[in-house]
Amino acid sequence: MSEQDTLPADVHPEAALLPWFANGTLPVGEREQIMRHLERCGDCRRELDELSQMKQALTEAYRTEPIPSPRLSRSVLAKVAEESATKRPVSTVADGWMDELDQWFRSLFLPRWVPTLAAMLLAVQFGLLFWLTNTPPPSEPVTTRAVAGPTLRVRVTFQEQATVGQIRAVLESVRAQILEGPDGSGSYLLRIPGTPDMTARALQLLKSRSDVVSNAEPTAP
Amino acid sequence: MDTTHERDETASTILAAVAMGDSSAFEQLYHLYEKRLYQYVFSLVHDQTVAEDIVGETMLAIWRGAGTFTGGSRVSTWIFGIARHKSLDAMRRCARRRREVELDGAAEMPTQSDSPLDDMERKQVETLTKRALAALSPEHQEVLRLVFYEELPYDEIAALLAIPANTVKTRVFYAKQHLKKHLERLGQKEPTR
């Protein structure tokens, strides 16, 4: 094919973009550039008119081209239905191990008693936490009494699999006091006494215990 | 009729469902693209059976590989890219047979005649346009289709055809010039047909 890679010298560079101005896919910057150019260029306005008419004629011509036989869709859709019934499509090679992990994880929930057991464990966890907050042991650093001096309030959610002992240990390590909770989403409001530096470190520590704490964010007093 | 841009947004959503293995979403996607994809492939291979085979293979490739679509381009560009790749493979395989196909074969293709009989002028323009298109080189036919029918941006056409964006722009410019010349020539030759 003998095609020039440049436009004729008497053609404005903007003319090369007019087909995409006509099909509405020019980026905003180029579109504005073309609009400014069209305001002062009669040649390009005529070129755009021709392109618009040509687009319409081509669209009509393409629209009436032959269509595939119904046999094609029947064959493809039947094949997909067959594959869909046997397995999910494999998206990528890299996804293979993810799919296997996903299948294994889902299989854990196949026995009917698993969700019930999970709900019971959750209820027991909340019960223990409730007991913990209402019966402080002697010389308990985690206390519901008010603490004088500067404090930080933190909204905390614990991991579902965390035990009472683990939660208690974490709270003790930062000298936290449970003010309220759990709320509807299972989170607790803590108060951590200390200077700003100390409370910042405490918050950092809470966040670092991701095996026990799923989320810890400071809240306004 | 919806625009290509609207169809592409719809297709992105549907393709995400297809990637999750939703066969009813695939059916939607299939009907969204089947006709245009077939016409595009037919314009490349000029053989109904081969075109149907390629569209079938392309559609199955989309079903099996929907998860590999990264969103780096329009869904249309991705789908047409797969079809184009398969068409070029098929054309290479059938090179000998393809040489026997006349360049203006497309002008003699049977068309779906569902337009009203009283719309003679439109029918005449359509016939002239098809004949003028058939006289263009395959490269010019292809870029005109991608710009004016598939409404793809120039950078996506460049990616699809694996050529620089500037080449796309100049190719479309000259394709339009040639089409205009052929239309004028045909119009003068057969003004009342």
Q: Does B177 touch chain A (CB under 8 A)?
A: no
CB B18 within 8 A of CB B29: yes
More confident residue, B55 or A198: B55
Q: Does B46 touch chain A (CB under 8 A)?
A: no
CB-based contact A89 B65, cutoff 8 Å:
yes
How close does chain A come to B105, measured CA to CA in Å? 13
Residue A109: predicted pLDDT: 60
Residue A62: its chain B contacts at CB < 8 A? 39, 145, 149
CB-based contact A54 B66, cutoff 8 Å:
no
The dihedral over CA atoms of A94, A95, A96, A99, expressed in degrees to the nearest 10, equals: 160
More confident residue, A85 or A154: A154
Q: Above 90 in pLDDT, residue B166?
A: yes
State pTM to two decimals.
0.58
pLDDT digits 0-9 by tens, B74-117: 899 999 999 999 998 888 877 655 544 444 444 444 444 444 54
pLDDT digits 0-9 by tens, A62-73: 888 888 999 999
Residue B173: its chain A contacts at CB < 8 A? 7, 11, 15-16, 19
CB-based contact A11 B5, cutoff 8 Å:
no
What is the residue-averaged pLDDT of chain A? 80
Chain B residue closest in CA terms to A23: B151
Using alpha carbons, list the distances in angstroms from residue B51 to A135, B3, B81, B159.
78, 24, 15, 22
- DSSP secondary structure string, A85-145? HH------STTHHHHHHHHHHHHTT-STHHHHHHHHHHHHHHHHHHHHHHSPPTT-SS-SS
Assign B31 a pLDDT band (cuts: 50, 70, 90): very high
How confident is the model over B15-29, as a mean pLDDT? 91
Given B65, B145, B176, which is nearest A54 (Cβ)? B176
CB-based contact B129 A89, cutoff 8 Å:
no
CB A55 within 8 A of CB B175: no
Q: Above 80 in pLDDT, residue B181?
A: yes
Assign B1 a pLDDT band (cuts: 50, 70, 90): very low
Residue B133: its chain A contacts at CB < 8 A? 58, 61
Q: Does B44 touch chain A (CB under 8 A)?
A: no
CB-based contact B56 A4, cutoff 8 Å:
no
Residues 140-169 of B with CB under 8 A from A: 144-145, 147-149, 151-154, 166-167, 169
* Helix A113-134 / helix A164-173 crossing angle, nearest 10 deg: 40
Chain A residue closest in CA terms to B106: A65
DSSP conformational letter for A188:
E
Cross-strand partners of A156: A188, A216
Assign A45 a pLDDT band (cuts: 50, 70, 90): very high
- CB contacts < 8 A, A to B, total 154
- Strands of the sheet containing A187-193, edge to edge, are A177-180, A187-193, A151-158, A213-219
Chain A residue closest in CA terms to B27: A77
Residue A88: its chain B contacts at CB < 8 A? 20-21
Residue A95: its chain B contacts at CB < 8 A? 67
Given A3, A55, A79, which is nearest B171 (Cβ)? A3
CB-based contact B3 A76, cutoff 8 Å:
no
3-state SS, residue B95? helix
Residue B107: predicted pLDDT: 41
pLDDT digits 0-9 by tens, A117-146: 778 888 888 888 888 777 765 555 555 554
